[in-house]
Structure 1
Amino acid sequence: MPIKQVYNLYLSPNRIYVRKLRNILGFVPGNVRLYQMAFRHKSVATWVKDGVKNSNERLEFLGDAVLGSVIAELLFKLYPYKDEGFLTEMRSKIVSRVNLNQLSKKLGFNELIEYDARMISYPNKQGSLLGDAFEALIGAVYLDKGYQFTREFLLGRIIKTHVDIHHLEMTETNFKSRLIEWCQHSGKEVVFLQIDNPEGESTKMFSIKVVVDGEDCGIGRDFNKKSAEKSAAEKACEYLKIFEESIS
């Protein structure tokens, strides 16, 4: 074991935290600060510079890209005769917030996340708390250990152990249909609106906002309008706790 890891595990002021991480993740972290940031929600973060907080949001952005790459490679090899549409749908099922929330809870990430305790009184605000932390953790592992280590960690420790890909293949996850059905049963009006992109009109991405009974419930962005609608619908389902029974 490298000297730095020995120090982190037995001698550093953070050794108790490091041991907890090792028990959950199966390895000893190098740069502990990365992991602390990965589990720090913006509600308890402090401003650093130019409107940026020392929260897990930037790591979440990075982790999302790394996770998508690893899953895409896995599916490409696992289904050599399936088309791009099938592979995209399968990747969406695996990296959906519902699934990542589930994985985070199984792995015990809820014991590590720092967030404003007042959020407990507002379940809707917790929405993607666990899933966001999952992606941020992947970003932290990538920066700390490199791509190959992160890939092996994801495939060996998480996907192989906790994700039944063939079961997901048989599961229909149409968030838009589920949202519309839920709204019909609840007597609520749902509207999908195309809104301006933050980058301006020059970008080719679509931004779709879901509004339920006048309340903004989620925004999805993608280069394909239907995919943007699906993403927005997923976030709305998450916000409205439509899939709460799946992640409880």
Structure 2
Amino acid sequence: MLLPLFVSTVFDPLTQFFRSPSDKEKKLKKAVATLIGTRPSNLELYRLAFMHTSVSKPVTGKDLRLSNERLEYLGDAVLGMVVAEYLFKKYPYKDEGFLTEIRSRIVNRESLNLVARKLGLDKLVEYDPNRRTVLTRTSMYGDALEAFVGAIYLDKGFQFTKKFILKRLLSSYFDLDKVVETNINYKSQIIEWAQREGREVRFDVTEKGTARHKEFIAELLIDNEVFATGSGFNKKKAEQSASEKGMEKLNPVKSTE
């Protein structure tokens, strides 16, 4: 009963508001159909899924601005649950710490941003072009992917969405063996290298963006000189990114020793 209520209170009064040129509508319908393997029943859900908050639109008479944030919230929950169930069944003898870590590696913003681009969602997202430089460095596309999952759930139901996540996302874009094996702590490696070589290493981290779309920039300094720079959606990720780039610069030198 939630879907009719959601549609009637939010989408029906906005039919005129969302009207767009037929060619644009056909393009969106074709793109969605290609992605999910069938025609969308409610195209407005998908249109909303790709509406970034930078181009949010007010709803007349309501304290609400339309963007994909609500669908993102829903899609995040659906995606997390499906992945959690899948890992629970695939690894019956692993503890909750292992399952939580692997799920985090799959649904983190970096992974979702990458998958979203591979799916072509970056071509569908509507956003303020004046903020392009900032937005493309944030979780905009990963957020849109979660909103897209939320739209599929409302449009096609849970079982359809579950199949989409397992077959279209997990099977196509994640090698679970590699996900499980990949646990490289580049920061520890760079610190260990510095200790062996008698070098001083430290990180300077700065923040950019808004409270919701925050980005961290980390500079890896060796003997007070910037050696590598990395970014991420939290301080730890940024330092790991900078450390990974630092190790990449060091490895060719080490291999010739």
TM over 0.5: yes
Structure 1: stretches of 5+ with no match in the other structure: 1-11, 190-211, 221-232
**Residue 122 of structure 1: SS of its match in structure 2?**
helix
Which residue does the alignment assign to 1:66? 78
Separation in 2, partners of 1:186, 1:31: 54
Which residue does the alignment assign to 1:138? 149
State how 1:31-50 maps to structure 2 within 5 Å.
31-48=42-59, 49-50=62-63
Superposed CA deviations along residues 220-246 of structure 1, whole A, max 9, x for unmatched, are 9xxxxxxxxxxxx7434678994899x
Change (3 A) 1:29 1:36: same
Aligned residue pair count: 195
User: Are residues 1:55 and 2:64 paired?
Assistant: no
Separation in 1, partners of 2:210, 2:184: 17
Give the AA of the match of 1:152.
K
Which residue does the alignment assign to 1:129? 140
Bigger Rg, structure 1 or 2: 2
Which residue does the alignment assign to 2:254? none
Separation in 1, partners of 2:210, 2:67: 21
Change (3 A) 1:116 1:73: same
**Residue 94 of structure 2: SS of its match in structure 1?**
coil
Q: Are 2:134 and 2:209, in contact at CA under 8 Å, matched by a contact in 1?
A: no
Q: Are 2:45 and 2:155, in contact at CA under 8 Å, matched by a contact in 1?
A: yes
Which residue does the alignment assign to 1:109? 121
Q: Are 2:113 and 2:141, in contact at CA under 8 Å, matched by a contact in 1?
A: yes
Separation in 2, partners of 1:241, 1:33: 40
Structure 2: stretches of 5+ with no match in the other structure: 1-20, 193-199, 213-231, 246-257
Separation in 2, partners of 1:47, 1:26: 32
Give the AA of the match of 2:79.
L
Give the AA of the match of 2:167.
G
Q: Percent identity?
A: 45
Change (3 A) 1:60 1:30: same
Which residue does the alignment assign to 1:30? 41
- The alignment's TM-score, normalised by the length of structure 1, stands at 0.67
- The alignment's TM-score, normalised by the length of structure 2, stands at 0.65
Superposed CA deviations along residues 29-77 of structure 1, whole A, max 9, x for unmatched, are 1110000110110101112232x32100000000000001100100001
User: Are residues 1:172 and 2:171 paired?
Assistant: no
Deviation at 1:27, TM superposition (A): 2.2
User: Are residues 1:82 and 2:81 paired?
Assistant: no
Which residue does the alignment assign to 1:206? none
Which residue does the alignment assign to 2:165? 154
Separation in 1, partners of 2:112, 2:120: 12
Separation in 1, partners of 2:67, 2:238: 21
**Residue 127 of structure 1: SS of its match in structure 2?**
coil
Change (3 A) 1:146 1:239: farther
